[in-house]
Amino acid sequence: MDASTFNHLTNIQQHLNSRSRKDNGFGKTCQIFLAITFCRLGFQVENYSSQGVDIDSWNHPYFPNFSIEVKTTTKHTVTLGQKDVDGLKKKAREGYEPIFAVLRLELLSNWIIAKAKGIKAGNHPVGRLQTSVRAMPELQDQVNQEFPRVVNDYGARVLSIPAEEVLTDLDKYLDRERQKVLPKESVMGLRARYRF
């Protein structure tokens, strides 16, 4: 990632660290930024904040439907829990292609988008997820082009509100972004239902 995006994310992480809880919400913040990124790439998206996979994306003109487990790390390894693997297997049975999206928070690091099929629970070197067998260069390139714009659009907002309100606030922005990619028949149905 470029210096501007890295600085935004570092500042956001520090802002969220002001919370007293161990889970400061930084990973979930990046997850919502990634969900918005997928919206802007033309996917319909569902972002989950509880157990199971993190993001489902579907109805893209040429990419398949994806179920995404999102991880952020400052290390050279990423830990994949058994629940992560099990959740992706379940989604694969539902017709989604399971993938991992891993962001190492470091200058010049980008999202790694990797096929998840066959990966076992445990610690994995981040670089190993980029092998030719797992690599998804076209999707990864598009994500890494759009993600800095999303961080630029919403980063200042995140820093301007209390840390405990960040996830709720970002969920509202995600809802607005999702409205932009709804199929025409859904938008027409909403207009008829709500008369707007």
Q: How high is the pLDDT of residue 181?
A: 76
On whether the pTM is more than 0.85, the answer is yes
Q: How high is the pLDDT of residue 20?
A: 53
Q: How high is the pLDDT of residue 89?
A: 92
Q: How high is the pLDDT of residue 50?
A: 75
- The domain spans of the chain are 3-181
Q: How many whole angstroms separate alpha carbon 171 and alpha carbon 174?
A: 5
Residues of the chain with pLDDT under 70: 19-23, 183-196
- Residue 100: strand pairing partners: 69, 114
- Residue 97: strand pairing partners: 66
Contact in structure between 28 and 72 (CB atoms under 8 Å): no
Q: How high is the pLDDT of residue 189?
A: 44
Token digits of residue 3? 């210096």
**Which residues neighbour 10 within 8 Å (Cβ) at sequence distance 6 or greater?**
105
The SS3 call for residue 67 is: strand
Q: How many whole angstroms separate alpha carbon 60 and alpha carbon 181?
A: 10
- 133-173 tens-digit pLDDT: 788 999 999 999 999 999 999 999 999 999 989 999 999 99
Q: How high is the pLDDT of residue 192?
A: 45
Q: How many whole angstroms separate alpha carbon 155 and alpha carbon 153?
A: 6
CA 186 to chain centre: 24
Closest CA to 13 of 32, 29, 37: 29
Q: How many whole angstroms separate alpha carbon 193 and alpha carbon 196?
A: 8
Q: How high is the pLDDT of residue 21?
A: 56
For the domain made up of 3-181, give the CATH fold. Answer: Trna Endonuclease; Chain: A, domain 1 (3.40.1350)
